[in-house]
């Protein structure tokens, strides 16, 4: 067997999605070197359809660090959103209530912007690696081993290792179960997601409650739209023709007096979801960030926003750990990140349970949900909570 080629760096990052790349970008701005590896190719990551909403602070982070050119020119600033229920559309004005906006900008494009920025800076980012494993994570010199496309063996030796490798995280699986606690929540629903070629059906997003189940009307561009409707986790995509999808979506939004502009459907998929939190987000000299440490249900689009909030705190605490030789800074990362993670879990759970048709729902359940939604939109305090949580709590 040929010898491993060894690279030494301060921070080794497993996962080249938005969390891993943003961390590498933020560390570079602090003068800290890192190496990023990902088993997926750049193309593969770019083909993944993800949510489309960026919180105010996520956009601020992109702006402050010089990667906001496209989000600001091509993204769509939304100063509010609609809640549709009880036969009507209700507007929640984020600007008025929370003094903030969100941006509709596909999260895949955030990946493209970050990948371009890292490439332009000559960063060491290796996509498409194989046989990745992590070693000595509790020691002074943790390492990542992998093979490149030619089958040659490599090792990245670092001071700190970061698992930003998504919900199936190999880094998380490398932690002995007795060293962490995992909190999980299963939901008895999933989303049927479509992409279609049609003009926008609304100027902002519509979160739609109906007796038939939840629907979300989102957008991508002037000519491409993204919509979802609540379905069974075992729903068969092939059982849904375009006609059947449109009639289901129209029935759900029609219950609240809205009508969608239809067009050819170019993508269909079922998204299953659950809540998951790992505590602490540190094991020895390895930390977890983004989906590797926590997943949320999609209602409210918190996933990527949480990942970016994680790495903002992580860059700061890693700098302290490296310059002051203070490993305890990693505990502070976990504490600070988890505070936001749990609040986002609550928000995503709340939005999900308020808007989705419960399993075996009866008239009582549906009327109670409509009453809850009325309580939110008729109260300035209720609407303000939603606006603050949706646009994102200030990082601090």
| Catalytic sites, residue numbers | 78, 207, 298, 302, 390
| 392 sits near ligand DHB (criterion: CB under 6 A) | no
Separation of first and last alpha carbons in the chain: 50
Q: In terms of CB distance, is 166 or 300 closer to ligand DHB?
A: 300
d(CA 242, CA 244): 6
Size of the site for ligand DHB (CB under 6 A): 11
User: Judged by CB, which is closer to ligand DHB: 301, or 321?
Assistant: 301
Q: Does the CA dihedral 6-7-12-15 come out positive or negative? A: negative
The reply to whether 218 sits near ligand DHB by the rule CB under 6 A is yes
- Restricting to residues 279-318, name those near ligand DHB by CB under 6 A: 298-301
CB 225 within 8 A of CB 216: no
* Binding segment (CB under 6 A) for ligand DHB, from list 49-57, 112-120, 246-254, 282-290: 49-57
Q: Which helix (H) or strand (E) holds 64?
A: helix 56-64
Candidate residues 13, 21, 37, 51; the one interacting with ligand DHB per rule CB under 6 A: 51
CB of 51 to ligand DHB, least distance (A): 4
Stretch that binds ligand DHB, among 3-11, 46-54, 63-71, 240-248 (CB under 6 A): 46-54
Residue 293 burial (CB count, 10 A): 31
The residue among 388, 392, 358, 391 whose CA lies nearest residue 372 is 358
Which residue from 15, 18, 52, 80 is in contact with ligand DHB, where contact means CB under 6 A?
52
39 part of the interface to ligand DHB, by CB under 6 A: no
The verdict on 163 binding ligand DHB (CB under 6 A) reads no
Choose, by CB under 6 A, the member of 21, 22, 53, 329 that binds ligand DHB: 53
Compute φ and ψ for 119, nearest 5 degrees. Answer: -65, -45
- Please spell the DSSP secondary structure of 170-204, one letter per residue: HHHHTS-GGG-EEEEEEEEEEEEEEEEES--SSSS
Instruction: Name the residue nearer to ligand DHB (CB basis): 66 or 203.
Output: 203
Nearest alpha-carbon partner for 208 in 220, 216, 200, 198? 216
Positions that interact with ligand DHB (CB under 6 A): 51-53, 205, 216, 218, 226, 298-301
């Amino acid at each position: 067997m040929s010898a491993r080629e060894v690279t030494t760096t301060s921070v080794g990052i497993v996962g080249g999605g938005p969390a891993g790349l943003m961390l590498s970008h933020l560390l570079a701005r602090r003068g800290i070197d890192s190496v990023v590896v990902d088993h997926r190719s750049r193309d593969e990551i770019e083909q993944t359809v993800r949510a489309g909403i960026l919180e105010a602070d996520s956009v601020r982070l992109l702006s402050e660090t010089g990667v906001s050119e496209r989000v600001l020119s091509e993204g769509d600033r939304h100063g509010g959103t609609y809640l549709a229920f009880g036969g009507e559309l209700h507007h929640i004005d984020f600007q008025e209530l929370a003094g903030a906006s969100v941006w509709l900008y596909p999260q895949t494009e955030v990946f493209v912007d970050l990948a371009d920025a890292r490439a332009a800076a000559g960063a060491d980012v290796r996509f498409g690696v194989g046989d990745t494993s992590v070693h000595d994570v509790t020691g002074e010199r943790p390492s990542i081993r992998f093979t490149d496309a030619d089958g040659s063996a490599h090792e990245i030796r670092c001071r700190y290792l970061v698992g930003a490798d998504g919900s199936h995280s190999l880094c998380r699986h490398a932690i002995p179960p007795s060293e962490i606690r995992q909190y999980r929540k299963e939901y008895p629903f999933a989303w049927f997601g479509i992409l279609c070629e049609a003009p926008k059906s609304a100027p902002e997003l519509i979160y739609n409650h109906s007796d038939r189940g939840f629907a979300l009307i989102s957008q991508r561009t002037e000519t491409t739209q993204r919509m979802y409707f609540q379905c069974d986790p075992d729903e068969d995509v092939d059982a849904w023709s375009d006609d059947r999808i449109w009639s289901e979506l129209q029935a759900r939004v029609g219950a609240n007096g809205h009508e969608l502009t239809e067009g050819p459907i170019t993508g269909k998929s079922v998204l299953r979801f659950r809540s998951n939190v790992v505590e602490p987000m540190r094991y020895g000299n390895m930390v977890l960030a983004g989906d590797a440490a926590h997943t949320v249900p999609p209602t409210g689009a918190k996933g990527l926003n949480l990942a970016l909030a994680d790495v903002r705190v992580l860059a700061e605490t890693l700098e302290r750990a490296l310059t002051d030789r203070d490993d305890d800074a990693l505990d502070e990362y976990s504490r600070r990140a988890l505070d936001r993670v749990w609040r986002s879990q609550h928000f995503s759970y709340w939005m999900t349970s308020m808007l989705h048709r419960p399993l075996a729902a009866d008239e009582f359940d549906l009327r109670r949900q409509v009453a809850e939604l009325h309580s939110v939109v008729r109260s300035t305090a209720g609407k303000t909570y939603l606006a603050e949580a949706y646009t994102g709590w200030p990082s601090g």
